[in-house]
């Protein structure tokens, strides 16, 4: 049997079930303890999701990531249409937007965990303002504020290349 096949718990040896449970527990504890207000998804191998300013672990300040695509701009989400994904709670403006995200989260999630795209290009992770956004080649990018977005927009290609190079190495320790 291939090592990347996970057996149902009832068919796995007891030691393997216990080891898997311990790994999940430790990953969950690390996600909570590393940086207050920042959720880290164990499945993302330490990649943080921007929940800055939210003691409840709500991503991107509670804004609906699908609305940027469907409504052409930021729209505050609602806890009534929330879901957990990548260790954070995501809010949506409608059940329809929630369903779209659930069906294809990679399409709608903002780049770089929802942290500032310009900051990521500079090698650090910072907050965003939901109004400072861009969609480039079908991907949502958020920025620190409108002035930073203006700077980022002057040479998007270069900043995106730097961000793509930096993002794999950035962790919760890089949050400012």
pLDDT at 1 over 60: no
Task: Report the chain's mean pLDDT, rounded to a whole number.
Answer: 82
Long-range pairs, 81-87, Cβ under 8 A, ≥24: 82/58, 85/41, 85/109, 86/39, 86/41, 86/43, 86/44, 86/47, 86/49, 86/59, 86/113, 87/31, 87/39, 87/40, 87/41, 87/42, 87/43, 87/44, 87/49, 87/57
The model's pTM is 0.75
């Amino acid at each position: 049997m291939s090592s990347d096949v996970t057996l149902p718990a009832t068919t796995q040896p007891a030691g393997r079930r216990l080891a898997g449970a311990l790994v999940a527990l430790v990953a969950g504890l690390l996600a909570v303890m590393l940086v207050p207000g920042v959720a880290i998804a164990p499945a993302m191998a330490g990649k943080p999701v921007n929940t800055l300013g939210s003691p409840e672990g709500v991503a991107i300040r509670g804004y609906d990531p699908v609305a940027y695509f469907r409504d052409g701009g930021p729209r505050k989400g609602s806890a009534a249409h929330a879901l957990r994904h990548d260790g954070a709670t995501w809010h949506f403006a409608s059940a329809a937007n929630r369903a779209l995200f659930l069906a294809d989260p990679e399409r709608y999630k903002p780049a770089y965990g929802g942290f500032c795209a310009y900051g990521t290009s500079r090698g650090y992770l910072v907050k965003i303002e939901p109004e400072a956004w861009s969609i480039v080649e079908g991907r949502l990018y958020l920025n620190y504020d409108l002035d930073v977005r203006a700077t980022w927009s002057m040479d998007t290609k270069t900043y995106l290349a730097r961000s793509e190079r930096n993002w794999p190495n950035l962790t919760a320790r890089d949050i400012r």
